[in-house]
Amino acid sequence: MNDSSATATTRRAHVTGWGRYAPSQVLTNADLEKMVDTSDEWILSRTGIRERRVAAAHETTASMGAVAGLRAIRTAGIEPDDIDLILLATLTPDYWMPSTAALVKEAIGNTKATAFDVMAACSGFVYGFATAQAYIQAGLAKHVLVIGAELLTRFLDYTDRSTCILFGDGAGAVVLSASDEPGGALGIELTTEPQGAYMIWLPAGGSKAPPSAGTIARGEHFVRMEGKETYRFATKTMATTALESIRRSGLQPSDIDLFVPHQANVRIIEAVAKGLDLPMDKMFVNLDKYGNTSAASVPIALAEAVNEGRVKVGDNVTIVAFGAGFTSGAVTIEWTADPARGIAGDAAVRPEDVSVRLPVDWNSVDPIPEALAEVMRRPGSIDVPDDVAPGEPERVRREVHA
Ligand SMILES: CC(C)(COP(=O)(O)OP(=O)(O)OC[C@H]1O[C@@H](n2cnc3c(N)ncnc32)[C@H](O)[C@@H]1OP(=O)(O)O)[C@@H](O)C(=O)NCCC(=O)NCCS
**H-type helices in 151-286, by residue range?**
161-164, 213-217, 227-248, 266-275
338: in domain: yes
How far is 64 from 81, CA to CA, in rounded Å?
A: 19
Q: Which CATH number do you get for residue 275?
A: 3.40.47.10
Q: Residue 196 half-sphere exposure, CB side, CA atoms within 13 Å? A: 24
Three-state DSSP class for residue 168? coil
Phi, psi (deg, nearest 5) at residue 163: -115, -40
3-state SS, residue 183 = coil
> Ligand 1, atom 1: nearest CA belongs to which residue?
227
Residue-averaged pLDDT of the chain: 92
Work out the percent of the chain whose per-residue pLDDT is above 70.
Answer: 91
Name, in order, each residue with C-beta under 8 angstroms of 119's C-beta and a sequence gap of 6 or more.
89, 90, 91
113 Cβ neighbours under 8 A, 6+ residues apart = 2, 83, 84, 85, 86, 105, 145
Total structural domains in the chain?
Answer: 1
Instruction: State mean pLDDT over 264-291.
Output: 97
* pLDDT bracket for residue 373 (50, 70, 90): confident
Instruction: Tell the residue nearest (CA) to atom 19 of ligand 1.
Output: 162
The number of the ligand 1 atom at minimal distance from the alpha carbon of 324 is 48
> Per-residue pLDDT for 254 more than 60?
yes
Mean pLDDT of 93-118: 98
The predicted pLDDT at position 380 comes to: 55
Active site residue 292: yes
Dihedral angle over CA of 63, 64, 65, 66, nearest 10: 50
Residue among 231, 287, 293 to mutate when testing ligand 1 (max atoms within 8 A of CB): 231
Single-letter amino acid, residue 201: W
Q: Is 29 a catalytic residue?
A: no
pLDDT value of position 18: 98
Which helix H or strand E contains 18, and what residues bound it? strand 12-21
pLDDT at 396 > cutoff 90 = no
The beta strand positions in 262-345, using DSSP E, are: 316-323, 327-334
CA of 324 to the centre of ligand 1 (A): 17
| DSSP β-bridge partners for residue 114 | 85
Distance (Å) of CA 236 to CA 70, 239, 242, 318: 35, 6, 10, 16
- Measure CA of the first residue to CA of the last residue in the chain; give whole Å: 51
Which atom of ligand 1 lies at the shortest distance from residue 46's CA?
3
- Residue 379 pLDDT more than 90? no
Residue 235 half-sphere exposure toward CB, CA atoms < 13 A: 14
Of all protein residues, the one whose alpha carbon is nearest to atom 46 of ligand 1 is 264
Q: What is the pLDDT of residues 326-351, one digit of tens each?
A: 999 999 999 999 999 999 999 999 99
What angle do the packed helices 124-137 and 297-307 form, to 10 degrees? 80
**Which of 127, 157, 162 maximizes ligand 1 atoms within 8 Å of its Cβ, making it the mutation to test the pocket?**
162
164 is catalytic: no
Task: Give residue 93 CA to ligand 1 midpoint distance, Å.
Answer: 27
Pocket of ligand 1 (CB under 6 A): 38, 42-43, 46-47, 122, 161-162, 165, 200, 225, 227-228, 230-231, 234, 264-265, 292, 323
pTM of the full structure: 0.92
Cα 345 to averaged position of ligand 1 atoms, centre (Å): 38
Whether 398 maps to a domain, the answer reads no
> Residue 153: which domain range?
12-386
pLDDT at 386: 41
Q: What distance in Å separates the CA atoms of residue 314 and residue 184, rounded to the nearest whole number? A: 10
Please report whether residue 218 resides in a domain. yes
Whether residue 7 lies inside any domain: the answer is: no
Backbone angles phi, psi at 188, to 5 degrees: -120, 145
Q: Is residue 307 part of a domain?
A: yes
pLDDT at 19 over 70: yes
Is residue 396 in some structural domain? no
CA 195 and chain centroid, separation = 24
Phi and psi based region of residue 372 (left: phi greater than 0; alpha: psi -120 to 50; beta: remaining): alpha
Q: Domain for residue 280, yes or no?
A: yes
Q: What is each CA distance from 161 to 39, 212, 224, 302, in whole angstroms?
A: 10, 25, 11, 29
Does residue 175 fall inside a structural domain?
Answer: yes
